[in-house]
């Protein structure tokens, strides 16, 4: 697998613990989508983050409350053990294979097949490699990255234009920037609101995913020009 640019950033682990996400104005999705699929969390929780990230999330939730009273941030996913990253990468590959009319198990056994390579590349655009090298951890495995969306004052998820984890250009943060239809314009406005309140807490957004934000990991360091990342794999 080709190394991504951010994976060349050095990590100086700060040692912060993983803690439960217990923040006013932040709601975990229920049931958790990956756990429902059978992802192997063991005794770990998808609703953990590093202490400093939880503190920043509280700032983002407060910023949302000021901009849109009654709205909240919904946590779709946060901490992701390496085993879960592997599980979900293969799950994403399998879904794309089925959509292409192919057998996922057969394709997985044919790494040189053009369709296999095409789908692996598509997955890699949105899913980090489940590397077990401490120098190149998947962002979610550091406890410094989280996937989020917005809930309105009634507790309903707002229109974002595409579901979380969709492996397509619709997931790019500015995909609907030029939309002329009502749905597209609303989706773009909601994405901008989400990005705005997360940025208020210092988070940076994944360039390909409207829902993914992080602080202190290698992707954050690469995007901000920081010399080192503060969080390694946990």
Would you call the peptide bond into 209 cis, given omega within 30 degrees of 0 as the criterion? no
Which bin fits 133, alpha (ψ -120 to 50), beta or left (φ > 0)? beta
Catalytic residue ranges: 209
Helix, strand, coil share (%) of the chain residues, nearest 5: 40, 15, 45
Contact 6, 221 (CB under 8 A): yes
Instruction: Give the angle 89-166-32 at the CA atoms, nearest 5°.
Output: 70
Structure tokens at 135: 């120098």
User: What whole-number distance in Å separates Cα of residue 57 and Cα of residue 21?
Assistant: 9
* Three-state SS at 93: helix
């Amino acid at each position: 697998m080709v190394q991504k640019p951010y994976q060349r950033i050095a990590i100086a682990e700060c040692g912060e613990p993983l803690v439960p996400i217990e923040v006013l104005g932040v709601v975990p999705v229920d049931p958790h989508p990956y756990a429902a699929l059978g992802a192997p969390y063991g005794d770990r929780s998808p609703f953990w983050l590093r202490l400093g990230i939880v503190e920043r999330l509280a700032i983002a939730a407060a910023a949302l409350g000021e901009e849109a009273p009654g709205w909240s941030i919904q946590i779709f996913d946060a901490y992701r053990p390496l085993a879960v990253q592997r599980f979900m990468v293969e799950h994403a590959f399998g879904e794309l294979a089925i959509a292409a009319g192919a057998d996922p198990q057969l394709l997985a056994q044919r790494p040189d097949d053009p369709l296999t390579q095409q789908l692996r590349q598509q997955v890699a655009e949105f899913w980090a490699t489940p590397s077990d090298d401490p120098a190149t951890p998947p962002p979610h495995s550091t406890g410094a990255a989280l996937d989020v969306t917005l809930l309105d004052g009634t507790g309903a998820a707002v229109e974002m234009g595409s579901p979380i984890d969709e492996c397509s250009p619709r997931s790019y943060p500015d995909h609907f920037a030029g939309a002329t239809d009502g749905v597209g314009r609303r989706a773009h406005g909601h994405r901008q609101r989400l990005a705005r309140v997360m940025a208020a807490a210092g988070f940076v957004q994944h360039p390909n995913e409207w829902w993914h934000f992080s602080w202190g990991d290698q992707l954050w360091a690469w995007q901000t020009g920081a010399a080192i990342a503060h969080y390694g794999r946990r």
